[in-house]
Amino acid sequence: MSDHKTMTLTLIVWRQKNANDPGKFETYTAKGITEHHSFLEMLDVVNEDLILAGKDPIVFDHDCREGICGMCSQVVNGMAHGGQDRTTVCQLHMRKFKDGDTIYIEPWRARAFPIIRDLIVDRAALDTIVQAGAYVSCHTGGVPDGNAILIPKPVADESMDAAECIGCGACVAGCPNGAAMLFTGSKVSQFAVLPQGKPEAAARVKALEKAMTDCGFGNCTNHYECQAACPKGINVKFIARMNREFLKAQFS
């Protein structure tokens, strides 16, 4: 028998059958949870109990469970990914909670992210933004050798900092306006600073701005919640860069 102390927690979980269902909070008890359980493992334990009781398990998204993909998108106690600095829900561990705690668990809340079921939302709007032009197309010329275009390290670092975005949508969930400016800004910026991305820079930023608006995302009003919620620490400076690129594009 394990000598680890166990916790009993109260979970207030959003349950919703589909996008048209009104949804509601339901209360569950998580028993036998140790500090070594991850947050998703804790939900696994609760779901096992629900299945044994003949009830529908809590539906949530997950994949790598290594803090890489960001599919484990949940709002925990009002904060996207649980509010731990640069941490996804799957890397949030139960040592951050204590016996007897009450935990509120919700899906991302944004007009552009319709709920599929329970804690899973449709984040296809982010893919729509990428498909609008967040890439370097084959029409910009042939593929050169890796060292043919010399790129200063600070420039390469800037691009890589923007490219670190994993597209989880926490920035949208954290923003009171449901804006995707940090996500879109990172996609614009990772190419805008590189010579390979400059030929299509104006067309790219215009297309991404339009896609972002068409998908129903809100506007940035400088709350900085997007940066605080981002599990990769994407900086709001990339929103400023996108705005500059957009203004330049109006004269190109």
Indicate if 159 and 198 belong to the same structural domain.
Answer: yes
Is residue 159 included in any domain, yes or no? yes
Whether residues 62 and 136 share a domain: the answer is no
Q: Which residues contact 5 (CB under 8 A, 6 or more apart)?
A: 34, 35, 99
Please state the pTM of the whole predicted model. Answer: 0.92
Domain identity same for 110 and 132: no
Count the alpha carbons within 13 Å of 232 in the hemisphere toward its beta carbon: 22
Q: Is residue 66 part of a domain?
A: yes
Higher pLDDT, 121 or 136: 121
Amino acid present at 70: G
Q: What percent of the chain has pLDDT over 90?
A: 90
pLDDT in the model for residue 252: 75
Whether 1 is in a domain gets the answer no
Distance from C-alpha of 185 to C-alpha of 220, rounded to nearest angstrom: 11
* pLDDT confidence of residue 139: 72
pLDDT tens figures, 82-105 = 999 999 999 999 999 999 999 999
The torsion defined by the Cα of 195, 231, 23 and 17, in degrees rounded to 10, comes to 70
Q: Which pLDDT score is estimated for 61? A: 96
Q: Say what the pLDDT of residue 55 is.
A: 97
Element spanning 31, H or E: strand 24-33
| Whether 66 and 89 share a structural domain | yes
User: pLDDT value at position 3?
Assistant: 55
Within-domain flag for 2: no
**Average pLDDT score over the chain:** 94
Last residue of some domain: 78, 100, 116? 116
Q: Is the pLDDT of residue 1 over 50?
A: no
In this prediction, residues 115-124 reach a mean pLDDT of 97
